[in-house]
Amino acid sequence: MLSFLKVGAKANHKAISAHLLTRFASNASYNGPSFEKATKLRQQLITPSAIPYYRNPVLIHKGEKQYLYDHKGTKYLDMFGGIVTVSVGHCHPKVNQALEEQLNTLWHTTSIYMHPKIYEYAERLTSKLPGDLKVVYFVNSGSEANDLATLLLRLYTKNFDIVTLKNAYHGGNMSSMGLTAQSTWHYNLPSIGNGVHHAMNADPYVGLWGGRNCRDSPVQTNRNCDCTQGKCLAEDNYINQLEAEFKYSLPKGKCAGMIVESIQGGGGIVQFPRNYVKRAIEMVHENGGLFVSDEVQTGFGRTGEHYWGFEMHGIVPDVVTMAKGIGNGFPLAAVVTTPEISQVLTEALHFNTFGGNPLACAVGMAVLDVIDEENLQQNSLEVGTYLLKGLENLRDKYEVVGDVRGKGLMIGVELVESKSSKSPLNTASFIDIWESCKDMGVLLGKGGISGNVFRIQPPMCITKEDADLTLNVLEASLKNQLNN
């Protein structure tokens, strides 16, 4: 492990050395099964589809703020936040306290009885949303939220066909799996995706069109761009493709709706040309449909400049789905829509046993408090922009770093064989770099259809020192791979 320290500049060497000295001196005690027994139990008892990260997995047993600890007490900087779920920090004391107080008062009744927490939380949550987005339905996960959004679209419009974008990820249950447009998440079943159309993805980096003036990001692609001031040709071309989808693939004027992530998460932190989403929602409305903004990863201040990702696109959607950071790791999700649209669920019984339970609502309110009290949206903007600019420097230095993108603490780093080809870096080399970052104490996510994008979506409490460490470790890992 220490052999990784031989690479990099002196400043990197010093920063990583200091980090290694502290991360192996933890007193985080562990009383669970041995690593060997845990591995055996996983292989025997857990579904084989649940594969842990890394060739040499980590056995995590404790979290604190932006840090995780394994069974040996080794400390890791968590730059993936439990897949973008830990928003305000692991085991935040205010969130813990809210949960503990509720645990000692009331665990569960479901909404068949009235309990105050669901009403208090609904009021707090909807106050964060613009316009007439004032009615909330609580569920437990992003997949459930997008499944319910699909139902709302079809019930309200009386239409069936739904549009999503290629490369999108909207969940893993039967309905949301169809919304997802990545073959890696599809099973060979005829019912999946019935009535769903996947339009061309408006990706300025690897798409047919795009360049250095298209994205709403501190870092642009290094791709040449023919756009002129105030006129994005890539945006026009992708909108033309979307229009063709409506013209040729859907019944005329009979769209149920469109669902879009404000920034694609699982697809590799992909951003669209600036006004693409704004023009897309207009087209959806013209064709009789509703527009859903999937804020499962981009909500709650993560993008920095705005509380909700859709605000960067200058729109107010008809439906908003949210999960992950909403509960800082507690199972909680929500669908928010207008009073008019919400009425369609009264046509039949629709019920979620655990949705809006007292524990989840207490946690949700505490998360909202912490985001505001600790200025985590502003921190996402400041630290995220600082990290993005540092990653841009790495892109300019290393041929394998093809693209850096994102806003706030929603960041992607795409590794390629060469900048000219943009071909995904081969899996073995990518995993080597990823694994060495872990061995030096920084946990990164990965995504993209080819699994060649580092996803950096940490707890929003990280500091510039954490950003520096991430940059130093990533550069050391890149150099180590190039030297092999």
Contacts of 6 (CB under 8 A, 6+ apart): none
Contacts of 61 (CB under 8 A, 6+ apart): 28, 30, 32, 69, 70, 71
What are the phi and psi torsion angles at 319 (to 5°)?
A: -140, 140
Q: What are the start and end residues of each CATH 3.90.1150.10 domain in the chain?
A: 2-79+382-483
Provide the pLDDT for residue 175.
Answer: 87
Asked if residues 294 and 317 have their Cβ atoms less than 8 Å apart, the reply is: no
Asked if residues 298 and 262 have their Cβ atoms less than 8 Å apart, the reply is: yes
Q: What are the start and end residues of each CATH 3.40.640.10 domain in the chain?
A: 95-373
C-alpha pair distances (Å), 121 with each of 108, 114, 234, 332, 441: 15, 13, 41, 12, 37
Provide the pLDDT for residue 18.
Answer: 67
Is residue 41 helix, strand or coil?
A: helix
Asked if residues 467 and 388 have their Cβ atoms less than 8 Å apart, the reply is: no
Contacts of 264 (CB under 8 A, 6+ apart): 165, 167, 168, 169, 201, 270, 271
What are the phi and psi torsion angles at 258 (to 5°)?
A: -135, 140
Provide the pLDDT for residue 193.
Answer: 83
* Domain 95-373 in this protein, CATH class: alpha beta
Q: Where are the alpha helices (DSSP H) in 10-52?
A: 10-23, 35-45
Q: What is the DSSP letter of 331?
A: S
Closest C-alpha among 18, 317, 302, 284 to residue 157: 284
C-alpha pair distances (Å), 214 with each of 69, 226, 238, 381, 448: 40, 10, 12, 20, 20
Alpha-carbon torsion (299, 301, 304, 308), positive or negative? positive
pLDDT by residue, tens only, the chain of 484 residues: 333 333 344 446 667 766 766 676 555 689 999 999 999 999 999 999 889 999 999 999 999 999 999 999 999 999 999 999 999 999 999 999 999 999 999 999 988 899 999 999 999 999 999 999 999 999 999 999 999 999 999 999 999 999 999 999 999 998 899 999 999 999 998 878 899 999 999 999 999 999 998 999 999 999 988 777 778 899 999 999 999 999 999 999 999 999 999 999 999 999 999 999 999 999 999 999 999 999 999 999 999 999 999 999 999 999 999 999 999 999 999 999 999 999 999 999 998 999 999 999 999 999 999 999 999 999 999 999 999 999 999 999 999 999 999 999 999 999 999 999 999 999 999 999 999 999 999 999 999 999 999 999 999 999 999 999 999 999 999 998 888 7
Classify domain 2-79+382-483 by CATH number: 3.90.1150.10
| Residue that the structure tokens 């159309």 belong to | 197
User: What angle do the packed helices 93-103 and 358-373 form, to 10 degrees?
Assistant: 160
pLDDT tens-digit map of 443-465: 999 999 999 999 999 999 999 99
